[in-house]
Amino acid sequence: MSIQNNYVAIMAGGIGSRFWPESRTHYPKQFLDLLGTGRSLIQWTYSRFKHICPKENIYFITNEQYISTLKSQIPEISYENIISEPSRKNTAPCAAYFAHKIMALNPKANIIMSPADHLIMDEHSFERTAHEALDFVAHHPSLLTLGIKPTRPDTGYGYIQYDAETEIDKTYRVKTFTEKPSLELARTFLKSGDFLWNSGIFVWNVQTIMDALEHYLPEMNEVFAQAKDVYNTPAEHDTITKLYPHCTNISIDYGIMEKARNVFVIPSYFGWCDLGTWESAYDNCTKDYLGNAVLGNNVMVIDASECMIKAPNEKLVVVQGLENFIVVDTPDVLLICERNREQQIKEYVAEVKRNKGDKFL
């Protein structure tokens, strides 16, 4: 398999409202250094994929308003490798657009579709697994996903059940997909041993995904087929802008993966985390002896424990007497929220919008 046939699409158009008030509509979480590493999530993601395919084969799919931010964070990427989505329509139109564009460029392409905001601790293992996945889809007409061996009964992830008796090169046929389960069901999944977390990282050959689009999402496929003569030309942007509103808002999971019969999974172990909430950030931050995760050069913690605290480096923040709280201070918004209520932050954002408009979003 030639590495020149490997392509990556990094999906970077989300808003990340669960990380409000740090993540904002104009500057969402993929561009933030949420763990104090000195690099944003999207910079880490790009760095990870540079070892998997040629730099010129790495594309970003994002909203038009983020193009300048993306270019400033990854200046070496060409504007031709930044794909602008006219509107947010979920992951199926994103995958369909990219498939049609790359098919016009290289009909032998093998593609990884990856979110921009995941945390992966063991990058060597990830690189090895990615190469195994690309090799598999190059030789088998399959739709592949990377599944993560669960370590706890988490209700925030989707689950994939695989058939342990169908192993081909460390890869297994998928039996079922389950969206975020109840805690009781998640415990059952963990005990069974044949369920994995759905990482949302997909791998396929371009012809295989084109066939799946034609079969399972024919109307959407036809939308992008109308642009077949303009892909990778100056006319592409304007044509896609006109066509995109005709796409259904649907995920690739629901639109294709849960329906197709040629879906496979690689059980993976590379320190993965969908960095989607302040709780997940807390889990992955260094903590003091009282369990406080502190990001900010001038934060003082007094008689407080097991808190997630983030503040601007130049600002003095004193936190006293809190236990199990999230404290996020920004120049115009201060959030103080119990950690066990963090799943409601999206609701708080909606309430802010109703009462204060878009100024603080």
Tokens of 276: 């989607």
Domain regions of the chain by residue span: 3-274, 278-356
Query: CB under 8 Å to 354, separation ≥6 — which residues?
Result: none
Residue 86 has pLDDT above 90, yes or no: no
Mean pLDDT of the chain: 92
pLDDT for 172-189, tens place per residue?
999 989 888 888 888 988
Average pLDDT of the residues in 111-139: 94
In whole angstroms, what is the distance from residue 184 CA to residue 188 CA? Answer: 6
**CATH number among 3.40.462.20, 3.40.50.720, 3.40.50.2300, 3.90.550.10, domain 3-274:** 3.90.550.10
In whole angstroms, what is the distance from residue 291 CA to residue 309 CA? Answer: 11
| % of the chain exceeding 90 in pLDDT | 75
The per-residue pLDDT for 46 is 95
Query: CB under 8 Å to 73, separation ≥6 — which residues?
Result: 31, 40, 42, 43
Residue 304 has pLDDT above 70, yes or no: yes
The per-residue pLDDT for 147 is 92
| % of the chain exceeding 70 in pLDDT | 99
90 touches 257 (CB < 8 A): no
Phi and psi torsions of 346, nearest 5°: -60, -35
The per-residue pLDDT for 155 is 80
The answer to which of 19-33, 71-85, 89-103, 146-160 has the lowest mean pLDDT is 146-160
The per-residue pLDDT for 230 is 94
Angle in degrees, CA 223, 229, 233, rounded to 5: 110
Average pLDDT of the residues in 110-137: 94
Residue 2 has pLDDT above 80, yes or no: no
The per-residue pLDDT for 1 is 58
Residue 351 has pLDDT above 90, yes or no: yes
The answer to which of 68-77, 201-210, 272-281 has the lowest mean pLDDT is 272-281
The model carries a pTM of 0.92
In whole angstroms, what is the distance from residue 133 CA to residue 25 CA? Answer: 34
